[in-house]
Structure 1
Amino acid sequence: MKKLILVASMLIAVYSCKKADAKSENNTEVTASSEAPKTSNKIVTLSGGITEIVSALGHESEIVGTDVTSTYPESLKATAKDLGHVRSMTIEPIMAVNPTLILASDKDINPELLGKIQSSGIQTEIFNQEYSVEGTKKLIEQVAKAIGNTDYQKLNNKIDEDMKQVQPIAKKPKVLFIYARGNNLMVAGKNTPMEKLIGLAGGENAINDFEDFKPLTPEAVVKANPDVLFFFTSGLQGAGGNEGVLKMPGVSQTNAGKNKNIIAMDGGLVSSFGPRLGEAVAGLNKLLIESAK
């Protein structure tokens, strides 16, 4: 009887040790019943794409602060603090939410903020974001590993599946993306997320003589002579809809203006280059095909 009790005690002790060993670094406990590892991280995400990745991996509840571009999922509005835009953000709002992990893209973040984040003592990961399918898949893998989650391949597989819906376009339409916010009108040049998205969707960026974004001018619109004008949905609404766009100086002289080829998509979807990239590309591809009819 004493031997049986001794054996049972030893088995309980071994089981307890194995359970304790299931906890890995970053306070992660792997459980068979959960979709994502449970962690005690308090995460600040400073990129819409990174925010989407963390959420899609099942860690949305750990996000305590985001940047202004993090508009998806909408449920984050009720649980995570909006810290502003990384171009003008300061360190104080970030420190106020007491994060244990900061995840950011190397794009747009102001150097002063980056320096203060890196000297704060808080665990920080700065990712090089490439605006391509492979770059996005690489980012998903890197973010997943940073938060202690290895179950990221399903997100990359979803991108591949969505990209299969993209249809070839015989004659590439020239697409001009216009960022409209209030009286601020900007057009996308080379090496912007919008240029890359347009290319993936089978179109051609209408402006190739400068990089980044520049203010919209009538001369630039006429010179670019786009076949399609592309807006964020919110931007098109703010510009007065299709009628308002057609009244913009120079637009009526372009192929897009003459044919009233104006399209719009959700800004968070098309600009984040996150897990929904394939969905964004396929959606834009469909709109470009329809506009050519």
Structure 2
Amino acid sequence: MKNIGYLFVFMAFALFISSCQSGNSETQSAAANNPDSLRIVSLNGTITEILSLAGLEDQIVGTDVASTYPESIKSKPKVGHNRKIPVEGVLALNPNLVIGTTTEVPKETVEQFRQAGLKVLLLDQEYSVEGSRNLIRALTDSLNLKLKGDSILSSFDKEIADVKSFPESHGKPKVLFIYARGSGTMMVGGSDTQVDKIIQLAGAVNPAKDFKDYRPLTSESLVNYNPDVLLLFDSGLSSLGSAEGLLSVQGVKQTNAGKNKKIIAMDGQLLSGFSPRLPQAIKELHTKIHE
């Protein structure tokens, strides 16, 4: 009787595992049998980049607003920000697969997609060199595109090998990231953010290590951090009216960055996406810091 009980438990466990993996298996089967039949809505800019590199750009019928690369992707219908996705807007595009990351798409939104009969593929995204590799591998494997994944990773590894990664050091430039949407919305990027990680990879130090995530910018904190460089998304700097607009923000001119007018603006998806273009982002940021 004990053996029968153990057998029953084992069979139930196996059935549970099978049900958890069925979505991924169905996705692989669809991609393998007829990739052209996929109608994908991508809810992450980096996922969109990988899909495009893997030859599936034509199968993307909609994206989130952060999907800005390649340039041709900008013509695709936008369904909003990945954390606030209108389910009706996605359904209107008649997709059969929605892809996003585990930390960005709300659980209730995922449940609504599934109730509507959509397959949903959610992947982990870690902001590191290895995390970028893992995301490329996981996505291409899930779509049964291993050879495409191998090719993307081969290029990625060659480019990473050509980029010297500098460990954090107190003697290196202090680079402070400011997220701006006009002078009324200005936030500072703290530790464990994408920008914190890319600053380290580029051979500099983020002085805002006393908190995680983002905090509102204050003149007091700006002066205390005294960055050598101010880093923004190019869209954020534009919202302030260029560099002169940033220099007029209280506290900026009291910092080394303000005194030397050392301001860097980069494309948001390139800088913070940790996509297959990560080597390019590291090299560009490092070059601009040390110009």
Give the TM-score normalised by the residue count of structure 1.
0.83
Corresponding residue of 2:90: 94
Residue 167 to residue 101, structure 1, CA distance change in 2 (3 Å): closer
Residue 88 to residue 167, structure 1, CA distance change in 2 (3 Å): closer
Paired residues, what number? 259
The letter of the residue matching 1:28 is: A
Q: 1:42-81 residue pairs with structure 2 within 5 A?
A: 42-78=39-75, 80-81=76-77
Corresponding residue of 1:249: 250
What's the % identity of the aligned pairs? 43
Corresponding residue of 2:216: 215
Q: CA deviation at 1:262?
A: 0.7
The letter of the residue matching 1:174 is: K
Deviations 1:78-112 (A, max 9, x none): 2x210000222221111111111111012332332
Q: CA deviation at 1:64?
A: 0.6
The letter of the residue matching 1:191 is: D
- 2:285 is aligned with 1:284: yes
Max Rg structure: 1
| SS at structure 2 position matched to 1:44 | strand
| SS at structure 1 position matched to 2:37 | coil
Corresponding residue of 2:237: 236
- 2:220 is aligned with 1:226: no
Corresponding residue of 1:21: none
Choose 53-62 or 239-248, whichever is displaced more: 239-248
Deviations 1:199-237 (A, max 9, x none): 111111120111111221111211211111001112112
| Bigger fraction of residues in strand | 1
Question: For the Cα contact (< 8 Å) 1:161–1:278, is it kept in 2?
Answer: no
The letter of the residue matching 1:54 is: L
| Bigger fraction of residues in helix | 2
Corresponding residue of 1:15: none
Choose 113-122 or 251-260, whichever is displaced more: 113-122
Question: For the Cα contact (< 8 Å) 1:104–1:126, is it kept in 2?
Answer: yes
Tell me the C-alpha RMSD between the 2 structures.
1.9
Q: 1:40-189 residue pairs with structure 2 within 5 A?
A: 40-78=37-75, 80-150=76-146, 151-163=148-160, 164-166=162-164, 168=166, 171-182=171-182, 183-189=184-190
Partners of 1:142 and 1:94 lie apart in 2 by 24
Partners of 1:282 and 1:108 lie apart in 2 by 27
Residue 27 to residue 104, structure 1, CA distance change in 2 (3 Å): closer
Question: For the Cα contact (< 8 Å) 1:166–1:285, is it kept in 2?
Answer: no
Partners of 1:198 and 1:157 lie apart in 2 by 24
Question: For the Cα contact (< 8 Å) 2:31–2:144, is it kept in 1?
Answer: no
Partners of 1:242 and 1:131 lie apart in 2 by 28
Q: CA deviation at 1:125?
A: 1.1
| SS at structure 1 position matched to 2:290 | helix
Question: For the Cα contact (< 8 Å) 1:159–1:279, is it kept in 2?
Answer: no
Q: CA deviation at 1:157?
A: 2.6
Residue 98 to residue 142, structure 1, CA distance change in 2 (3 Å): same
Give the TM-score normalised by the residue count of structure 2.
0.83
The letter of the residue matching 1:235 is: G
Question: For the Cα contact (< 8 Å) 1:26–1:39, is it kept in 2?
Answer: no
Partners of 2:223 and 2:104 lie apart in 1 by 29
Q: CA deviation at 1:168?
A: 4.5
Deviations 1:217-268 (A, max 9, x none): 1112112111110011121122122211111111111111112111111112
Partners of 1:280 and 1:55 lie apart in 2 by 18
Residue 219 to residue 143, structure 1, CA distance change in 2 (3 Å): same
